[in-house]
Amino acid sequence: MNYADAERIDTLLCNKKGNKIDSPNSAQLVVIVGCGVRQSADSKAISTIRNIRKKNPKALIILTGCLSNRSDIQKKTKGIVDIYLSISKWNSFSRNDIYQLLQKKDIKELKSNLKNFYRTLPRITSPSTAYIPIMTGCNNYCSYCVVPMARGKEISFSPEDILAQAKTLIDNGYKEIILLGQNVNSYKGKDKKGEIWSFSQLVKKIHSIKGDFWIKFVSSHPKDVNQALINILKLKKVSNHFHLPIQSGSDNILTKMNRKYTQKEYSNLIKKIKSQIPDIVLTSDYILGFPGETNKDFKESIKTAKEAQFEMLYINKYSPRPQTTAKKLKDDVSQNIKKKREKEIDKVWKKTALEKNHKLIGKTKKVLIDSIFNKEGKKWVLGHTFCDKRIKALLGKNNIGSGNWVYIKIDKVTPTALSGKIVKKL
């Protein structure tokens, strides 16, 4: 989401005749789009700002994104950040405002217009992949999560705006559209006639745009997955990779997290999806060491990861966040235990992924090329498959570059990557 925001801020600044340069250390204006989901993200943003300020004392530094409204962050960055700007105000930030600020003069109060911000066509750095936020904010209030406070209440953008962006990006050659939202299944976008569109309606319409492209989306909340969404996963251009964050396999912890589903309900949902889409690739998020997580709770998380056969996990060590209800609970699982649990669950998904990837040896997959890199005097293609597996192959005499399709026959695998030979290019 922050990445997608940064690509839109880039457009707005370039429209005001800004020139993007390589290093923040010689920039007149530096924009930091901060993430606050864990303490480590807060710390990284603060240390980045401090370093830039040290090397570039004259720069105008703007902090935006999820950290811009946090009073604790404002306190810690006082004197080194010049302006805290929420995402919704970027559209009313003029070239004249920038000049005023560069001269250390005050500017008028900026107006908020979040929907306008998300109408901005992004300046995309990837050669192939375009992110489209379809909504922002969240109403779920999971007890550990700062997103509802940082991004506010859930707002769905209009289906016409999203479709117009998708069409332009596909016409401009982007081959992968990734729809973004904290809980895409609860998308309810109002069109010009006042009709409300569901997420599945929106995806079907994007799917009907002419062209050879893939559609992906993150994140889905297990409590809101319904048959309509499962049907969406069966569409030809929709990836058969499904990311479904579970957070914990213990009912006791899921209740404390306010996740509103049980382990059994999650397992049944996975069974239902697999019975209809046998080659689905499932990935998930876990939080380890949530307050009060016992060894028994953790063993239930391990059991669920094995049963669900996740092929990749984003494992997060619990980090207390300001203004969350879990912040009131004692962070009583030591860092050592969190690390131990992380190692243990990491082994589980890597074992599953290796077994599943082995079955791909000898198969040919369509690949979207992300980059070409040099290693040991040879050129390699690096890309990803329809279900998001990283893959590489020697470029050889093939005349292809980033952002193109290619077919690769797989001959080697690890838990996290595939490799093979280019057999056909499109």
φ/ψ of residue 10, rounded to 5: -55, -45
CA angle 154, 62, 140 (to 5 degrees): 15
| 133 touching ligand SAM, by CB under 6 A | no
250 binding partner (options ligand SF4, ligand SAM, none; Cβ < 5 to 8 Å by kind): none
- Binding test (CB under 6 A) with ligand SF4, winner from 86, 182, 200, 316: 182
| 136 touching ligand SAM, by CB under 6 A | no
- Please tell me the count of residues contacting ligand SF4 according to CB under 6 A: 10
Residue among 213 and 286 whose Cβ is closer to ligand SAM: 286
Which tokens hold the place of 140? 């779920």
How many CB atoms neighbour CB 366 within 10 A? 15
- Binding test (CB under 6 A) with ligand SAM, winner from 53, 89, 175, 221: 221
How many CB atoms neighbour CB 127 within 10 A? 16
CB of residue 324 to ligand SAM, shortest distance in Å? 7
- Binding test (CB under 6 A) with ligand SF4, winner from 98, 145, 353, 406: 145
Point out which residues pair with 395 in neighbouring strands: none
- Report the candidate in 378, 371, 343, 367 with the shortest Cα–Cα distance to residue 176: 367
| 147 touching ligand SF4, by CB under 6 A | yes
Window contacting ligand SAM (CB under 6 A); options: 78-86, 98-106, 143-151, 353-361:
143-151
| 219 touching ligand SAM, by CB under 6 A | yes
Residue among 59 and 142 whose Cβ is closer to ligand SF4: 142
Residue among 53 and 221 whose Cβ is closer to ligand SAM: 221
Subset of residues 194 to 253 that bind ligand SF4, contact rule: CB under 6 A: 221
Whether the CB-CB separation of 393 and 419 falls below 8 Å is answered with yes
Whether the CB-CB separation of 408 and 414 falls below 8 Å is answered with no
User: Which amino acid is it at 126?
Assistant: S
DSSP 3-state percent helix, strand, coil across the chain (nearest 5):
40, 25, 40
285 binding partner (options ligand SAM, ligand SF4, none; Cβ < 5 to 8 Å by kind): ligand SAM
The secondary structure of 125-187 as a DSSP string is: -SSSEEEEE-EE--S---TT--HHHHH-S-EEPPHHHHHHHHHHHHHTT--EEEEE-TTGGG-
Residue among 153 and 210 whose Cβ is closer to ligand SF4: 153
262 binding partner (options ligand SAM, ligand SF4, none; Cβ < 5 to 8 Å by kind): none
Residue among 100 and 219 whose Cβ is closer to ligand SF4: 219
The secondary structure of 18-53 as a DSSP string is: ----S-GGG-SEEEEEE--SSHHHHHHHHHHHHHHH
Element spanning 316, H or E: strand 312-317
Q: How far is CA 269 from CA 169, 263, 308, in A?
A: 33, 10, 10
Window contacting ligand SF4 (CB under 6 A); options: 88-96, 140-148, 275-283, 376-384:
140-148
- Binding test (CB under 6 A) with ligand SF4, winner from 100, 112, 140, 255: 140
- Binding test (CB under 6 A) with ligand SF4, winner from 138, 177, 180, 395: 138
- The site for ligand SF4 (CB under 6 A) is made up of 138, 140-142, 145, 147-148, 182-183, 221
- The site for ligand SAM (CB under 6 A) is made up of 37-38, 144-145, 147, 182-183, 219, 221, 245, 247, 285, 287, 316, 318-319, 321
